[in-house]
Amino acid sequence: MTTRTEDLAARLMRYCAVDTQSDADSPSQPSTAIQLTLARMLVQELETIGASDITLTDYGTVLATIPATAPGPTIGFLAHMDTAPQFNATGVKPRLIPGYNGGAITYPDNPALTLTPETSPNLLKKLGHDIVTASGTTLLGADDKAGIAIILHTAQTLLNDPSIPHGPIRLAFTPDEEIGRGVDRRLPKDLNVDWAYTFDGGEAGEIEYETFSADGAEIRIEGVSIHPGLAKGKMVNAIHLASKIIAALPQHTMLPELTDHRDGFIHATDMTGGSSAMTLRFILRDFEREGLEEKGKILRAVCDAVQATEPRATITCTITPQYRNMRYWLEKDMRPVELAQAACRDIGLAPVSVPIRGGTDGSRLTEMGVPCPNLFTGMQEIHGPLEWVSVQDMERASDLMLAILRRAVQ
C-alpha cells in the first residue's frame, strides 16, 4: 500500500467503527444522537489539518472551508455521516484485505457468508486492490464514510501543499441522508457555494446527474377492538385489512425486487401494530413526476377499495414528498456535470452517467438551488453484510476531486 492508500484505509476504518445509524421514526434533528459522535470527531480532525470556519450546526451538519490558493468559483463537496437503518450497524468491525487475489472472501463473525465474484461481479475488476469489508454481522458503512474519507484525505493534501491552485472549497458532512432528511432548509445558505458535488456513488467513473423522484407514504388503519370471545359481528381486525392492502398492490411489476433500469416501484418498508390498529409505511420511486404521481394514485385507490369493504374501519393514506430527480434542474445548466466528466477523463477514467436508483443529498440541494451532481467512491453491495470498497477506487475518487478543482480555476 502507498502512503495515500494507507491514509484512506485508516480513515475509512476509523469512521466505519462508529455507529451512526439514522432512525426514520425519530423526530429529533439529527434523528439519532450517535451521529454527533462522528460529527465531533470530524470537527477535531478538521481542526488538526488546519481547515477554517469549522462549524457543527444545530441541525447536525459539519461545515468547514479550505481557503483558496487561486481565483475561482466556490465549490462544495459533501458526504453523509449516517448509515442505513435497514441492516445492523452496531459493532462494525472493519477489516482490510490487502492485495485481493480473486477468490472468495470469508467473514470471521459469520462463516456461512462469502463474498465472491459470482455474487459481486465488480470484484473481478479489483485484482490486487486492497479491499475493506465488515466482519459478517453488520454492514460496513462505506455508504457514505468512504465519501467522508475521500474528502478529508483530499482536504489534507490541499492544506499540506498550498502550491496546488484551487478556488474556495466548502466541505459539508450531513446527518440523516439515508432517511431523506440530510439537507436542512438552512444548508444552501450556510454552504454558500456556486455549485457542489456529493461523493456518494459506486463504481469508479460514475458521474451521476439523474436520480429517482421520491415520496414516502403512511397508511393508518383503525379497526374495532373487542375481546375475541365476544367478537362475532363486532370486531374489525386491522391486521386483516392491512393484509388486503398489501395483497391488492401490484405483485408482478412494481416491486423493487422485480424492477431495474428506469422502472419505478412501490416498496413496503414497515408494518407495525396489532388487531386494533396497524401502520404500513411505503416508499414510492419513479424517475418522472408523472410516474411517481401515478404510484401514489394506485396506493390511494387500493386504500379506498379496502375501506369500502369495511366502513366500520378508518383507513387513511398520507403521502409526503421526499426529493425529486435532480435532472430536472441540472439539464438546464450541465456545466458542473460536464466539468466533472472532463476531470474524470483527465485522470484516465471514462465517465459513466447512469440514472441512480435512489437519491442523494444532491437531489435535495439541486432542487433547492445548489446544483449538485454525484461522484463515485467505489462502494459496492451497500446496505448489507456483503458491503465492500476498494481503497484504490477511493484514491481515484480523491484524484477526481483534485482534477475538478484544477479545471475549475483554468
Catalytic amino acids? 82, 177
Round the CA-based radius of gyration of the chain to a whole number and report it: 23
Omega within 30 of 0 (cis) for the link into 399: no
Query: CA distances (Å), 292 to each of 18, 23, 109, 288, 356, in order?
Result: 36, 24, 41, 6, 15
Which residue do the cell numbers 442505513 mark?
84
Does 143 appear as a known binding residue?
yes
Do residues 391 and 1 lie in contact, with contact meaning Cβ atoms separated by under 8 Å?
yes
Does 200 appear as a known binding residue?
yes
Does 184 appear as a known binding residue?
no
Does 178 appear as a known binding residue?
yes
Residues 173 and 394: their CA atoms lie apart, in Å, by 17
Binding residues: 80, 143, 178, 200, 383
Binding residues for Zn(2+): 80, 143, 178, 200, 383
